Amino acid sequence: MRLHNTMTKRKEEFVPLEEGKVKMYVCGPTVYNYIHIGNARPMIVFDTVRRYFEYKGYEVNFVSNFTDVDDKIIKKAIEEGVSSDEISKRYIAECKKDMAAMNVKSATKHPLATEEICGMVDMIQSLIDKGYAYEKNGTVYFRTRQFKDYGKLSHKNLDDLRSGNRSLLVSGADEKEDPLDFVLWKPKKEGEPSWESPWSAGRPGWHIECSEMSKKYLGEQIDIHAGGEDLVFPHHENEIAQSEAANGKSFAKYWLHNAFLNIDNKKMSKSLGNFFTVREISEKYDLQVLRFFMLNAHYRSPLNFSAELMESAQKSLERIVTAAQNLQFLMKNAQTEAMTDEEKKRFEKTAEFVTAFETAMDDDFNTADAISAVFELVKYANTTADAGSSAEYLKGLLDILVKLTDVLGIIVDKKEELLDADIEALIQERQDARKARDFARADAIRNELLEKGIILEDTREGVKWKRA
């Protein structure tokens, strides 16, 4: 499996730090509004990366933060006359709803910056102790030139750098030893949320948040650090400087960055005002369509958002879902159970589609080619499955289709929710079948319920059931 490492600008073979495990950190959003579909791109892309590692049998520890203390959150809180905490809690909840609707799995851990301040203070203190940071009038700065490898991720030369850094804008630049130094801790202004520290009552800089949360939940060395390409500099460059200076170890082995989602070939962003929120898009489309649209492009290619492309994604997705529904329908009505010899031979060919899918994904997560492999499978299913097919053959095809689309986070076999009354009726039918000693039928009903997520338990008081 090869992935493109921003650090080396090459595709490299993936070798995990620990066999069978992946430690992965993805920088999450700053929560002061609904997320826009540009923010959704890294969520969808790196959720797919995670799903593919899981498909390959890795255990993935996936950490993604919420930045819940920031100038923009404070500004929004002042505008609404509420606390910053209320703003961030509200938009974290809304963001989680959007993520669920896009079928983005919950992270193993979603740390909140405001709950990790103690660890950040400790990390800053250790940077001061090691000579990598200094305090001036309550502000703590990182001594950038002290870190010899500074610029290694963004391939920038220290002398060419100008300090156009988010957190630097907040504090006065005159007191710094060097314009390249960036803020680790800043004192509060009137009315801002703050925490006690040895230097001032204040709050951490943005970069130290991720260094600390990554260390706390994944350890000093991780396999993959990811985010949108605008984070390469200064955010990730500064994270590397802080983490490696504090821990004395190389930080992340592989750095993955997605390209922008554009609109009219300009980056979609809140500050330009040229964005659609995920919520707005959900009023017009199932968010599976948005997900499918995003995955039709390679994650390192810029992607232009347009209504036409969304319509075309919707149609393509429908073809896959229809094929799955068709297989389900045929399965229900199949006349024979086991595969014939001819079907067995036909089924062997499906391995080619799986191989094509894996080859594409192994090549730096080429989801566009992986989707082509899914379409080949769909075409094959549409041409080889019919009312005369055995249930086993149909199920075989459907299982592969579900397995591959699940890697992409696309749901093709929406299970119909069974109503309580239907469940009770099936349980009664099973009891009747048992009384009539028709155990095959009784077992079939039990399995049918199990497939729909209903678990039966035979107790002395009778049959009990619960939803899985």
Binding residues for ligand AMP, rule: CB under 6 A, are 27, 29-30, 38-39, 41-42, 227-228, 230-231, 258, 260-261, 267-269
Nearer to ligand AMP, 228 or 234 (CB): 228
Residues, the chain, total? 468
Residue 269, binding choice from ligand AMP, Zn ion, none, Cβ under 5 to 8 Å by partner class: ligand AMP
Q: What's the min distance (Å) between Cβ of 24 and Zn ion?
A: 13
Which range of residues in 15-23, 46-54, 139-147, 202-210 is near Zn ion by CB under 5 A? 202-210
Residue 396, binding choice from ligand AMP, Zn ion, none, Cβ under 5 to 8 Å by partner class: none
Q: Compute the radius of gyration of the chain from its Cα atoms.
A: 26
Position 77: which residue type?
A
Q: Does 161 bind Zn ion (CB under 5 A)?
A: no
For residues 255 and 5, is the Cβ–Cβ distance under 8 A?
Answer: yes
Distance CA 355, CA 170 (A): 52
Nearer to ligand AMP, 176 or 267 (CB): 267
Nearer to ligand AMP, 54 or 230 (CB): 230
Nearest to 166 by CA among 209, 195, 126: 209
Nearer to Zn ion, 242 or 390 (CB): 242
Distance CA 161, CA 148 (A): 14
Long-range residue pairs from 192-196, CB within 8 A, at least 24 positions apart, any chain: 192/74, 192/84, 193/69, 193/74, 193/83, 193/84, 193/85, 193/114, 195/117, 195/121
Residue 232, binding choice from Zn ion, ligand AMP, none, Cβ under 5 to 8 Å by partner class: none
Q: What's the min distance (Å) between Cβ of 267 and ligand AMP?
A: 5
Nearer to ligand AMP, 89 or 441 (CB): 89
Q: What's the min distance (Å) between Cβ of 6 and Zn ion?
A: 14
Q: What's the min distance (Å) between Cβ of 81 and ligand AMP?
A: 23
Structure tokens at 331: 């399965």
For residues 120 and 129, is the Cβ–Cβ distance under 8 A?
Answer: no
Q: Give helix then strand counts, H and E, for the chain.
A: 15, 15
Q: H-helix or E-strand containing 182?
A: strand 182-187
Q: What's the min distance (Å) between Cβ of 49 and Zn ion?
A: 17
Q: What's the min distance (Å) between Cβ of 227 and ligand AMP?
A: 4
Nearer to ligand AMP, 209 or 364 (CB): 209
Q: Does 27 bind Zn ion (CB under 5 A)?
A: yes
Distance CA 243, CA 121 (A): 13
Nearer to ligand AMP, 65 or 242 (CB): 65
| Residues of the shown chain interacting with Zn ion in the complex, contacts defined by CB under 5 A | 27, 210
